[in-house]
Amino acid sequence: MDIYNAVETGMSFLKKTVLTYQGASWMLYAAACALALVMIFGGRKGRLVFLYPAIILALTMLNPYIYPELFRVQGGMEGDYYRVLWLVPAGALTAAGAVFLIFRFKSGFVKCILTAAVIAFLAITGEPELTKVLPTGLPQNVYASDETLVRICDYLDRHSPEDTKAVAFENEDYASSVRDYDASILPSDLLHDGTATKNAEAFEKAAARDDTDYFVVKKGSDLESIIGQAGAISVVTIDDQDIYENPVNFSK
């Protein structure tokens, strides 16, 4: 999912926010209608709580012209425009507007029917959270980790004598995402240290000083030959990744 940036997209930002986050986008229209109802039937209290703050926010923080200018200075909040929408509680506002309208009728029967009709309308046109996931199953690999990385982690968990293992990955994506899948692996930077990976001799010295237990390199890469010459022990190949043990660490 892209995060839209208020500074870059300007006026179309609000529309893109709504489209991107999808859900039942009619809530915004329902809230707008409810605001009109509160304005007409809400009385002083209704206007004080729902209408005036909404108007002030619409003119300031929620204004697509002003919001980018406000946060161009602060930075780091451009993609979080939707959070300001929490300040106008759309569900409560819709309910207040609906009740102000429904209870204009005298008959209790009509009030009940109309309340039920509004709830039924919301239920039919809406999209509840649970419908996304039924029938429910156990989540598997929910963070969509790379399958090769998953197999590497499983192999190391089964074969390593240590509870936590320091592992140097040549692939930077593996290094950054490995702990999403396996918290017992501590990523090491050794393979991205330009001095250490200059040649086999430098690597041997660096590996002797380092606590890294395993090296994971791409099969046939330059790093593999340096690691091999430095005395690392090849243990297994998983897909296109070779796993090596740090001999110094294991001989301690």
Partner 1 sequence: MQELAAAGALLAAELLVFYILGTGLPYHREDGLRSVSENVLAGFFLYTGVFEGVAVVCTWLGTTLTTLCRVWAVILSVMTAASLVTRLGAWTGYVRWFRKHHRRHAAEPLLVLVALSYAFYSVCAGFTAEDSGATVSTMTTDMLNDTMSTVDPATGEKLAMMSPSVLLNRWPAGLSFLCRVSWLKPLTVTHFVTEALVVILSVMVLWRLFFHLFDGRKTKAFAAVLIAVAAEIFSRTVYTPSGLLEGCGWSGEAVFANIVVPAVLLLVLMMYEHDGKALFAHLFLAGIVAVGTCKWGILLYAVLLIAVMIPEMIAGRRGVHFLRMLACLVVPALGMTLCYFLPGIPCA
> For binding to partner 1 (CB under 8 A), which residues are involved?
17-18, 21-25, 27-28, 30, 44-50, 52-53, 56-57, 60-61, 74, 80, 82-87, 89-92, 94-96, 98-99, 102-103, 111, 115, 118-119, 122-123, 125-130, 132-133, 136, 139, 142-143, 164, 179, 183, 186-187
In the complex with partner 1, the residue whose CB is nearer, 52 or 250, is 52
In the complex with partner 1, the residue whose CB is nearer, 124 or 251, is 124
Query: Nearest-5° angle of CA 83, CA 89, CA 94?
Result: 135
In the complex with partner 1, the residue whose CB is nearer, 74 or 107, is 74
10 Å Cβ neighbour count for 226?
A: 21
Smallest separation, CB 26 to partner 1 (Å):
8
* Distances in whole angstroms, Cα of residue 209 to Cα of each of 35, 63, 240: 67, 57, 28
In the complex with partner 1, the residue whose CB is nearer, 34 or 216, is 34
Q: Reduced to 3 states, what is the DSSP secondary structure of residue 134? A: coil
**What gap in Å lies between CA 215 and CA 238, rounded to an integer?**
13
In the complex with partner 1, the residue whose CB is nearer, 126 or 220, is 126
Smallest separation, CB 19 to partner 1 (Å):
11
Smallest separation, CB 21 to partner 1 (Å):
4
Q: Rounded to a whole number, what is the distance in angstroms from the first to the last CA of the chain?
A: 47
- Give me the phi and psi of 111, to 5 degrees please: -60, -45
- Give me the phi and psi of 186, to 5 degrees please: -105, 115
Spatial neighbors of 107 by CB under 8 A, at least 6 apart, are: none
Smallest separation, CB 130 to partner 1 (Å):
5
Smallest separation, CB 40 to partner 1 (Å):
15
